[in-house]
Amino acid sequence: MIQINLSRINWLQTSSYIAIIILSILLFRNCQDNEKLQLANSNFKQELKISDLKIEKHVNRINALNDSLVILNKLKQREKVKIVTVTKEVEKKIQSVGSLTTKGIANYYQDRYKLPIVITKYGISLSDTIAKKNIVELVQKDGLVLELNHTKNILKITENQSEIKDGIVILKDSIISEKDKQIDSHFKIEKNLNKQVRSERTKKTMWQILSGAILVGAGYLLIK
């Protein structure tokens, strides 16, 4: 059995070596931790760049959609103006029906139906009174058809505007989500930087201790 003579061990020298080894291991681990933190921060910064690109893309899309809304709003206003114009034209035509002569009535029917109209001494086959009422109804009907077409256009434009606005809301929500991710990444980067600062302080302290231990050991050896 091997016996160790403890009295012959130089405890000061041995303690110095042990301290140096322990401090060296701690410094090595500290350096590894710093490398991990730097890598993590690098990844977070890359995520921030990607997030910025996404936000820029969403903002550009929102601007384009807003431009589309402006165009659609102008189209809607044009359709509203057309409805007003049609309404005025219909009212004007209705007012002129009362002054139509028999020949004017015949011309109206002939132009509308592209059929020859026979005028008798009593007028056309319809009495002028009935014919005028009929013309009024036809004019109103024509006007309503035009108004309906413009109204359909307005409805379609409104639906497109609604879809665009929904798209803008979705994009804004995406931007908010990206901003939240950026805030989280900035927080993690700051947290890692604080860890690095503390780690550097610890490493500096350990270097000072290690240097002191080496100097003590070297001084002891020189004295001895």
Q: In degrees rounded to 5, what are phi and psi of residue 120? A: -105, 180
| Confidence check: pLDDT of 146 > 50 | yes
Mean pLDDT of the chain: 76
pLDDT per residue over 184-193, tens digit each? 777 777 776 6
Q: Which of 32-41, 85-94, 98-107, 109-118 has the least mean pLDDT? A: 32-41
* pLDDT, position 1: 45
Query: What is the band of 84 on the pLDDT scale with cuts at 50, 70, 90?
Result: confident
Q: pLDDT tens digits, residue range 96-136?
A: 888 888 888 888 888 887 878 787 777 777 767 777 888 88
Separation of alpha carbons 140 and 134, rounded Å: 10
**Kind plus residue range of the DSSP H or E element containing 122:** none
- Torsion 70-76-77-82 (CA) sign: positive
Query: Which bin fits 78, alpha (ψ -120 to 50), beta or left (φ > 0)?
Result: alpha
Q: What is the mean pLDDT of residues 146-170?
A: 88
The CB density around residue 163, as the number of other CB atoms within 10 Å, is 12
Dihedral, 158, 163, 167, 170 alpha carbons, nearest 10: 110
Provide the residue ranges of all domains of the chain, joining segments of one domain with +. 10-223
Q: What mean pLDDT is predicted for residues 29-56?
A: 73
Spatial CA neighbour of 195 closest among 26, 34, 27, 25: 34
- CATH number assigned to the domain with residue range 10-223, chosen from the 4 options 3.40.710, 3.20.20, 2.60.40, 1.10.287: 1.10.287
